[in-house]
Structure 1
């Protein structure tokens, strides 16, 4: 018993000194760092990680270009200056071309996709995938998105006959699950009419992680080499297997029956001579996983702000109805992207509520920060807090105010470069940006054209966010009053 006790005490002492040295990592490198040791970036104080980072941003802005922080005792760098962010994302991209996200092709094939691949694997995949996301290809899918948007309005109309208070986050998720399930997997998912559909079930499963799964995810992100040895999965097994098997079945059926549709499945089939079916399945999974929550988040917060700002909602509705009438009552792909005020509203929503509030870039070789004596060591991740930039009054006056006029033709020219980053920037920006904008704009257009949104007793004012959600997420849903126009 005594020997076990001494071993235990020795381990505690070793861990203590390891943590002490670890927490001096940035001091030894010459970087300023917050006083909090082993930072959980605000989570332990009931804040989201992006809110925790925002506290650091406000404390150190104007003092240094970047500070050293810790993610669960793992050192990371937090760039604050937009010019440094420009270097990281674009000018010195050769030093930061990886995201440093965990994936394991053998244990979890759906995790090895464009978002998580690094180095030459990413570069080759990005080159081959880029033609799939051109405006011409998006135009091909317009008819499907238009049809599913009409179904959203139709089913919501039936539901407000019994209740006019609805969780618009859930409706937004049902729309994006239905829409992306259709174009990425070639299936009529029926999510809008049946929120218990299998696609909704596994879409939510990707986000509703169990405590042990959250621990595994954190472990894999911070110790990827050991996680690969242990064959840790980054996605829940049941959800990953569902999306993998669903795509493989569609893939084989399309090939056997020589079926071609205007969707991502057919476009991915065009790359079958370059990639294995498992690799193509990973990309179909990415289209769903990335577009499901980000686009529904954009829709959710846009409807929230329109409900709180009736004058903006009325102005947007006027633009929509007038322009469609002028186009002989037809909505086309070209018209959707010509609606200037809709674009301004969407951009202001992206500014105030960026769906992905933190961008990650991994330093792949030692990088000396321009104009300083500081060096970011190889292997360190840079965390760019988009939320802080979007809410900085120096860049966006009165940032808490929802003001689409910030993005008028005249005012948008004055926005400081690399302070508005809803889709990232540079070579690793969001490849699905056009598709995400198309489906979000289409749904917002149909909803505002047919309904009036306003606050109800359950509406969160001011807004509160879920602490542990991977995306910016309203706490307990987005409840709004919905009335027929």
Structure 2
């Protein structure tokens, strides 16, 4: 082939590629949907993970177009996405028309990475079956059975905080709270005393750090897996590092084996998983497909559910706890007000943290709600259309497999909804203030059939941790405290970059 022919072929290929890319990235323009001009290959994601966090990109797009329409077009690299920003339309998507939006479209690869076969990642019928089977684990009755475990670990949290004060007088709150929630979830989900509060290098805590600080793939590969999970699955990519998968699978097998052999029952999450495994075991000689979850769970499927309960439970709650204490450290008047409520309620119970006592702490509830408003942990909810959907009162149709973003953090920081959004004000959640807002402008746990299944467990775990810390210590800013907070740009979750460092004093009088 001559050089001239090669150059002509190359020019033709490049021209075809250019035309296809130009057509692809003109999708929203052709439909008259407001959108930012995209760049080839990256769409509207320039700077993600380096200059910007997801929340920054969401806020930029939301604030630019919120006055123009109830939906906004965007491109996450090669994928088209649509931002849904109008509360009534959000309500339709999450509840009224949920059947069109039941899937999340997240990456999972059960064949090569069994732990991804969990309630958070799965879609379709498998998700529906799992949600039905797991919901009883998070009823009020079940949570009350788990309550004493949470309180016992919370008491150990006080000792761990005191040891850190003895060393240096300042505490990195995110790490301390993560050690607390790791121990809680470890005991509830695995029936194992993780010992993270006594030993920051305990094996479960080391695995936590590996997952969030040393992911299996680079940011670019993670972005590819997020935007095109089907192709990532065909390429047999995995989400979790092999040593993490091996550890958690081994921990579940060991726990299951011990309980089955010794007839141990603890009325916890793992007990319910054992019941489902026993159901599958009774049918082991029948013809059951591996992905059929209606007839119980295999040991791998049990491990996947325990894994996601563990990860979601320890990371989100510890983040909320640390942000809550951070905000109270910056506003000592609010901190003292909450401490007074805690002391007043605990005096009635002779210092015991009870389920009923926490329900009585109404200001604590407001403080945690405002923390979740200002720092919602997840920047946006993700849904995937399962069929073509015509947006009411418009000529716009969302095609099947269109990815939906509901920008939670951007809505939570909209000054038209929450005046002075950067101000931490728990009174936003007084009954009269809540009544003024559309209920779908506050979405830290999502809403509808696919909301966070462990919402009440997470709120209770967070409340116990905050109570135990404030009843024993006073928190103040230190020389290392970031004001305002700086978020880690490489994480999808909203988290403080470098942690949250505060000065801590032991209270002279406590209860």
- Fold shared per TM-score above 0.5: yes
Residues of 1 paired with 2:10 and 2:317: CA distance? 50
Choose the corresponding residue for 1:327, options 334, 349, 357: 349
Residues of 2 paired with 1:469 and 1:215: CA distance? 13
Is the aligned partner of 1:24 residue 2:26? yes
The equivalent of 1:119 in structure 2 is: 124
TM-score by length of 1: 0.96
Residues of 2 paired with 1:12 and 1:173: CA distance? 50
**Aligned positions, number:** 485
Alignment of 1:37-436 (within 5 A): 37=39, 38-40=43-45, 43=48, 46-210=51-215, 212-272=217-277, 273=279, 274-436=296-458
Residues of 2 paired with 1:438 and 1:10: CA distance? 62
The equivalent of 2:482 in structure 1 is: 460
Query: Greater shift after overlay, 210-219 or 132-141?
Result: 210-219
Is the contact between residue 105 and residue 123 of structure 2 (CA under 8 Å) also seen in structure 1? Answer: yes
What is the CA deviation profile of residues 100-150 of structure 1, one whole-angstrom value per residue up to 9, with x for unaligned ones? 111111111110111111111111111111011011101101111111111
Query: Greater shift after overlay, 35-44 or 409-418?
Result: 35-44
Residues of 2 paired with 1:304 and 1:14: CA distance? 54
Would the alpha carbon gap of residues 420 and 201 (structure 1) be closer, same or farther in structure 2, given more than 3 Å must change?
A: same
Residues of 1 paired with 2:47 and 2:219: CA distance? 17
| Structure 1 gap ranges (5+) | none
TM-score by length of 2: 0.91
Is the contact between residue 39 and residue 73 of structure 1 (CA under 8 Å) also seen in structure 2? Answer: no
Is the contact between residue 42 and residue 53 of structure 1 (CA under 8 Å) also seen in structure 2? Answer: no
What is the CA deviation profile of residues 351-372 of structure 1, one whole-angstrom value per residue up to 9, with x for unaligned ones? 0000112100101111111111
Residues of 2 paired with 1:419 and 1:220: CA distance? 29
Is the contact between residue 488 and residue 495 of structure 2 (CA under 8 Å) also seen in structure 1? Answer: yes
Residues of 2 paired with 1:324 and 1:222: CA distance? 49
Is the contact between residue 41 and residue 50 of structure 1 (CA under 8 Å) also seen in structure 2? Answer: no
Is the contact between residue 298 and residue 349 of structure 1 (CA under 8 Å) also seen in structure 2? Answer: yes
Residues of 2 paired with 1:341 and 1:374: CA distance? 44
Is the contact between residue 392 and residue 399 of structure 1 (CA under 8 Å) also seen in structure 2? Answer: yes
What is the CA deviation profile of residues 360-395 of structure 1, one whole-angstrom value per residue up to 9, with x for unaligned ones? 010111111111111111101101110011111121
What is the CA deviation profile of residues 261-318 of structure 1, one whole-angstrom value per residue up to 9, with x for unaligned ones? 2421112212221211211111100111111211111011001100001011000000
Question: After TM superposition, where is structure 1 displaced by more than 6 Å over at least 4 residues in a row?
Answer: 3-7
Q: Over aligned residues, Cα RMSD in angstroms?
A: 1.7
Is the contact between residue 102 and residue 123 of structure 2 (CA under 8 Å) also seen in structure 1? Answer: yes
The equivalent of 2:293 in structure 1 is: none
Residues of 1 paired with 2:343 and 2:65: CA distance? 47
Is the contact between residue 55 and residue 379 of structure 2 (CA under 8 Å) also seen in structure 1? Answer: yes
What is the CA deviation profile of residues 379-413 of structure 1, one whole-angstrom value per residue up to 9, with x for unaligned ones? 01101110011111121121111111111233222
What is the CA deviation profile of residues 164-197 of structure 1, one whole-angstrom value per residue up to 9, with x for unaligned ones? 1111111111111111111111111111121111
Query: Greater shift after overlay, 381-390 or 220-229?
Result: 220-229
Is the contact between residue 369 and residue 426 of structure 2 (CA under 8 Å) also seen in structure 1? Answer: yes
Residues of 2 paired with 1:368 and 1:253: CA distance? 53
Residue 458 of structure 1, CA deviation: 0.5
Query: Greater shift after overlay, 72-81 or 424-433?
Result: 72-81
Is the contact between residue 41 and residue 71 of structure 1 (CA under 8 Å) also seen in structure 2? Answer: no
Is the contact between residue 260 and residue 266 of structure 1 (CA under 8 Å) also seen in structure 2? Answer: yes
Residue 476 of structure 1, CA deviation: 1.1
Query: Greater shift after overlay, 387-396 or 439-448?
Result: 387-396
What is the CA deviation profile of residues 64-99 of structure 1, one whole-angstrom value per residue up to 9, with x for unaligned ones? 110110111210111121111111111111110101
Query: Secondary structure in 2 aligned to 1:361?
Result: strand
Query: Secondary structure in 1 aligned to 2:82?
Result: strand
Is the contact between residue 41 and residue 49 of structure 1 (CA under 8 Å) also seen in structure 2? Answer: no
Query: Secondary structure in 2 aligned to 1:160?
Result: helix
